[in-house]
Structure 1
């Protein structure tokens, strides 16, 4: 299972970087989304994949010796998903506004000064 996730993380990172290097603003946003998903899977994989019980310790027990799922990486991933959703929605609105003003999806059109249009 870990090998499949490692390959998937590599594919997400590679495709995300490939999309970041394109000239289109939409492809740039898709690349950021792919990189964020790859990072979330990496955190999940580093937390360890265990089929165990929830991390609840009985009051009578001094130590917890059973295998349990670590809740910290899962909480970090949940927080990262919420933050990335907010950033993605802001970027979509910003890209729409830039497209309305420039009438182009090309990033090179943003660098041209307005004096060249005259």
Structure 2
């Protein structure tokens, strides 16, 4: 078991990041902390794609060598696209959080529900 974890440390880190991100999204009442949790969760998914695509001794697919295994560039392209989408999601989320704070004066989800119920 310890040898498996030593060889697959990326998966251990992946599950730690997934757990922390999920906990932050569920347990925190602050909207900024929820957005940080979403960002950590996204980072864990990126790490998952990279770890799954790793080929031991793999060559670049541009000019493959005879007899060597070629690494697929598709997961890298997907992760790069997902990073751009993640940055856009974070920017829109922060803009919404700023707008919510200027309108209601709080970032706590329970307080926002009470204020919205009174309106």
| TM-score bracket for this pair, using the shorter chain length | 0.7 to 0.9
> Which of 45, 50, 61 is matched with 1:55 structurally?
61
Q: Structure 2: give runs of 5+ residues left out of the alignment.
A: 1-5
**Structure 1 residues 111, 71: closer, same or farther in 2, change over 3 A?**
same
Richer in helix (by share): 2
In the alignment, structure 1 residue 15 sits paired with structure 2 residue 20: yes
Alignment partner of 2:59: what SS? coil
| Residues in 2 aligned to 1:115 and 1:107: alpha-carbon distance in whole angstroms | 12
Post-superposition Cα deviations, 1:72-106, rounded to whole Å, max 9, x if no partner, equal 11111001001111111010111011011111110
Cα distance change on mapping 1:115 and 1:82 into 2, 3 Å: closer
Q: Structure 1: which 5+ runs fail to align? A: none
1:37–1:114 distance in 2 versus 1, CA, 3 Å? closer
Q: 1:2, 1:45 within 8 Å by CA — same for their partners in 2? A: no
TM-score, length-normalised on structure 1? 0.84
Distance 1:99 1:56 in 2: 50
Q: Which residue of 2 is the match for residue 90 of structure 1?
A: 92
**Superposed displacement of residue 68, structure 1:** 2.4
The structure whose Rg is larger is: 1
Matching residue of 1:6: 11
| Number of residue equivalences | 113
